[in-house]
Chain A
């Protein structure tokens, strides 16, 4: 299962990102858990200069813009492949 974090204080960009990510997950029909991180202290632990940020399995994949659903799908698929390999 993928652990996904959406970083951002709750402005409309972060909401959009969470919504698009949720949709990509539904379309792929994979198991994943989305967590919204709104605390600045927590957000700045990731190498991020502006929100929104997307973290998949503790890897920051995108920051400072809202990516398209196609991009999110690609990242999800990549992360799935990586998490399959060691097992």
Chain B
């Protein structure tokens, strides 16, 4: 079959396409989410500060702590599905 005006074969173009797809794939797999560890740590510290301050000024007393730890508690913080950090205030 005579094909005029075609300089690359179909195989060559297919190879080129595969190279581009592989290159894109490797690049995307190398992308990583920026870490947010410091921010999470800061939130945890702030929650701890609040809890200690409330304890020292009588905001939380022994009678307020229920026998069932899940009773009357409010979750302050919750993060992604992979890492869950909860700070609870129980009343």
Does A pair with B? no
Q: A residues bordering B, Cβ < 8 Å?
A: none
